């Protein structure tokens, strides 16, 4: 059962807003969403029954990586509005009972940030060691073999300093040097600035990348046979996940804990997802919670999901996990796991499953509509990752296209101007206005499910215990009070219930019959003792 002093974020459902693609309302003709648009749509978000919002970056940026390259941590980019608009968003969200978590990108800045301009000027200025600089090898090549996520070496030569600088992502995103105490202090000042403006927490971008091996040891090969990028041909054990990143987590945790009700959720980008999640959240000095990419890839199935949850419980039994099936970086789950499955029934089942697992659930905008991955033609691609690796990897634009609000409106009601990414015609029939009027729609289901879940303490904060059953049926108790059954396979399944009297607590299209549950593909049941 939920205790009166349980933090709000434990068991919460948090809705991710990708501002560029949510709602364009400022009439400036740029086809980019903005803070005024988000404010206008807050009643819709609240109507879903979620507990809070994760706001992707809206800070000043040259947009080389669409906001994840920040040029001023304390300024709102004019594309999105002003600090006054941001303050209005905080107040409006709170008035509707919604918490607001903002993205913080501390691993790196934009190369247009004033800190980097000073750091690169020479080797003796006050910020000379605020970024990761290294001399070339005798032959002029980079200091080691580290490979960047978006292609090529993680090192770029700078003619001013006559040194290489480190960047895990684009060359326009130089890495901050967390081995320098002044860097950590400056970043903590940034966090304090936003806490003072009333935000309820931070989502920490690539939090395990905050520190590197000072010896610049080469990474070993991954021996992956399916690697599309050089980055995936290495095991990234020296360019991330260093002890200094954990030490900084403790400092940030202490700062956030000074103000009751605030929280941190780390994004952990690692080939060792569960081990790293345990390390960064397994004690009172780590992040409050974290999500990883374990369930954001292609692998799927009841056994895989159970193994992931149980492994994390074993590695860090005291940690509170977070889970996501979709976000702004991966193929939408309705396509990634749902291709060939009955829609929208399978999308409904996945949404219920995500929010039935023990943990905090992060839901990506459009997931409540069952949106599939959009098709974006090559000539309209904006994601540097997609442009570089197309067609083997089409990048992230397909999950970032505009929200379809009104099926028959210009650009789906997202904007009066041509959007920065095109609206996929396949998304129009799934628009909010059509689904809102259909009691059988995905949107109507999400509202019913989350309204029911809100009144079920066991489903929010109860423990989880898995049961054996048919291979593709995921079965578990929440809080010892609710038995959750999900048929993730493609054939009918029958689950034999534990001895006792059972009643249906929430119907996911399964059938209770004489001590058994009959589950068609993409169906389930939530049961309670009668």
3: pLDDT strictly greater than 90: no
pLDDT digits (tens, 9 = 90+) for 398-453: 999 999 999 999 999 999 999 999 999 999 999 999 999 999 999 999 999 999 99
Residue 218 appears among annotated catalytic residues: no
Q: What residues contact 260, with CB distance under 8 A and at least 6 apart?
A: none
Residue 373: closest CA among 406, 417, 421: 421
Answer yes or no: are the C-beta atoms of 165 and 158 closer than 8 Å: yes
pTM of the model: 0.97
Which of 39-53, 91-105, 269-283, 483-497 has the least mean pLDDT? 269-283
Length of the chain: 530
pLDDT recorded at residue 267: 97
CA-CA distance, 205 to 267, in Å (whole number)? Answer: 5
pLDDT of residue 27: 86
Domains and CATH numbers, the chain: 13-107+181-453 (3.20.20.80), 463-529 (2.60.40.1180)
Give the pLDDT mean for 316-339. Answer: 97
Under DSSP, is residue 280 helix (H, G, I), strand (E, B) or coil?
Answer: helix
Q: Using alpha carbons only, give the angle 441, 301, 266 rounded to the nearest 5 degrees.
A: 80
Tell me how crowded residue 76 is: count the other CB atoms within 10 A of its CB: 21
In terms of Cα–Cα distance, which of 55, 48, 67 is closest to 23?
Answer: 55
Average pLDDT estimate for 60-78: 98
Would you say the C-alpha torsion 357, 359, 364, 365 has a positive or negative sign?
positive
Query: Is 1:479 a contact under the CB 8 Å cutoff?
Result: yes
Strands 493-496 and 360-364: unpaired
Predicted confidence (pLDDT) at residue 297 exceeds the cutoff of 50: yes
Could you give the CA distance from residue 497 to residue 494 in angstroms, rounded to a whole number? 10
Q: Are 203 and 101 in contact (CB under 8 A)?
A: yes
Tell me which of 5, 139, 258, 468 is the catalytic residue: 258
SS3 state at 525: strand
Between CA 186 and CA 170 the distance in angstroms is: 23
The reported pLDDT for the residue numbered 282 is 79
Q: What are the residue ranges of helices labelled H in 394-441?
A: 432-436
446-455 residue pLDDT tens: 999 999 999 9
pLDDT (0 to 100) of residue 489: 97
Please say if 205 is a catalytic residue.
yes
Q: How far apart are CA 33 and CA 414, in angstroms?
A: 8
Tokens of 312: 């994390």
For the chain, the 3-state helix, strand and coil shares in percent, each to the nearest 5, are 30, 20, 50
In the predicted structure, residue 231 carries a pLDDT above the cut 60: yes
Asked whether residue 1 carries a pLDDT value surpassing 80, the answer given is no
What pLDDT is recorded for position 4? 57
Tell me the per-residue pLDDT of 79-97, one tens digit each, with 9 for 90 and over: 999 999 999 999 999 999 9
Q: Is the dihedral of CA 307, 310, 316, 319 positive or negative?
A: positive
Q: How many angstroms separate the CA atoms of 388 and 394, rounded? A: 9
CA 193 to chain centre: 23
- Residue 2's pLDDT band, with cuts at 50, 70 and 90, is very low
The residue annotated as part of the active site, out of 205, 241, 383, 424, is 205
Q: Residue 133 — pLDDT band, cuts 50, 70, 90?
A: very high
Sign of CA dihedral 272, 276, 282, 287: negative
Q: What average pLDDT does this structure show over 355-381?
A: 97
Per the DSSP assignment, residues forming a β-bridge with 99 are 52
CA gap 516, 365 in Å, rounded: 36
Average pLDDT for residues 292-321, to the nearest whole number? Answer: 96
Q: What is the mean pLDDT of the chain?
A: 96
Report yes or no: 167 and 146 within 8 Å, Cβ to Cβ: no
The secondary structure element, H or E, covering residue 291 is: strand 289-292
Count H helices and E strands in the chain, helices first.
Answer: 13, 21
């Amino acid at each position: 059962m939920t205790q009166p002093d349980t933090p709000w974020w434990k068991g919460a459902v948090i809705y991710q807003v990708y501002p560029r693609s949510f709602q364009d309302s400022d009439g400036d003709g740029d086809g980019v969403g903005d803070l005024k648009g988000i404010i206008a749509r807050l009643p819709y978000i609240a109507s879903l029954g979620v507990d809070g919002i994760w706001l992707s970056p809206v800070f000043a940026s040259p947009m080389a990586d669409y906001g994840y390259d920040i040029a001023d941590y304390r300024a709102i980019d004019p594309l999105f509005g002003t600090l006054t608009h941001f303050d209005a968003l905080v107040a409006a969200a709170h008035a509707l009972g919604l918490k607001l978590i903002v993205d913080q990108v501390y691993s790196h800045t934009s190369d247009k940030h004033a800190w980097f301009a000073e750091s690169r000027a020479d080797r003796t200025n006050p910020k000379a060691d605020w970024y990761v600089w290294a001399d070339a090898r005798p032959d002029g090549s980079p200091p080691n073999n580290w490979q960047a996520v978006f292609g090529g070496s993680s090192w770029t030569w700078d003619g001013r300093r006559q040194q290489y600088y480190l960047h895990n992502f684009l060359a326009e995103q130089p890495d901050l040097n967390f081995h320098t105490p002044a860097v950590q202090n400056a970043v903590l000042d940034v966090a304090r600035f936003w806490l003072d403006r009333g935000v309820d927490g931070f989502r920490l971008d690539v939090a395990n990348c905050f520190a590197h091996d000072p010896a610049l040891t080469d990474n070993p090969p991954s021996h992956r046979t399916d690697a599309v990028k050089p980055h995936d041909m290495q095991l990234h054990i020296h360019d991330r996940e260093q002890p200094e990143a954990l030490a900084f987590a403790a400092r940030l945790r202490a700062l956030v804990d000074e103000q009751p009700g605030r929280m941190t959720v780390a994004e952990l980008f690692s080939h060792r997802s569960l081990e790293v999640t345990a390390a960064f959240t397994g004690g009172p000095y780590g992040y409050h919670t974290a999500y990883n990419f374990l369930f954001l890839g292609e692998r799927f199935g009841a056994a895989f999901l159970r193994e992931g949850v149980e492994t994390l419980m074993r590695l860090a039994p005291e940690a509170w996990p977070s889970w996501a099936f979709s976000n702004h970086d991966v193929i939408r789950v309705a396509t990634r796991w749902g291709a060939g499955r009955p829609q929208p029934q399978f999308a409904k089942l996945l949404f219920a499953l995500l929010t039935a697992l023990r943990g905090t659930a992060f839901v990506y905008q459009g997931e409540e509509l069952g949106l599939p991955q959009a098709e974006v033609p090559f000539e309209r691609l904006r994601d540097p990752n997609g442009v570089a690796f197309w067609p083997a990897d089409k990048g992230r634009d397909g999950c970032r296209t505009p929200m379809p609000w009104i099926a028959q409106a210009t650009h789906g009601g997202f904007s009066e101007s041509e959007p920065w990414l095109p609206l996929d015609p396949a998304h129009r029939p799934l628009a909010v206005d059509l689904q809102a009027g259909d009691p059988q729609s995905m949107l109507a289901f999400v509202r019913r499910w989350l309204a029911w879940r809100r009144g079920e303490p066991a489903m929010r904060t109860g423990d989880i215990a898995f049961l054996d059953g048919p291979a593709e049926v995921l079965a578990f108790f929440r809080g010892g009070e609710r038995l959750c059954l999900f048929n993730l396979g493609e054939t009918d399944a029958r689950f034999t219930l534990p001895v006792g009297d059972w009643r249906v607590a929430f119907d996911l299209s399964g059938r209770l019959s004489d001590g058994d549950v009959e589950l068609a593909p993409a169906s389930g049941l939530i049961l309670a003792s009668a």
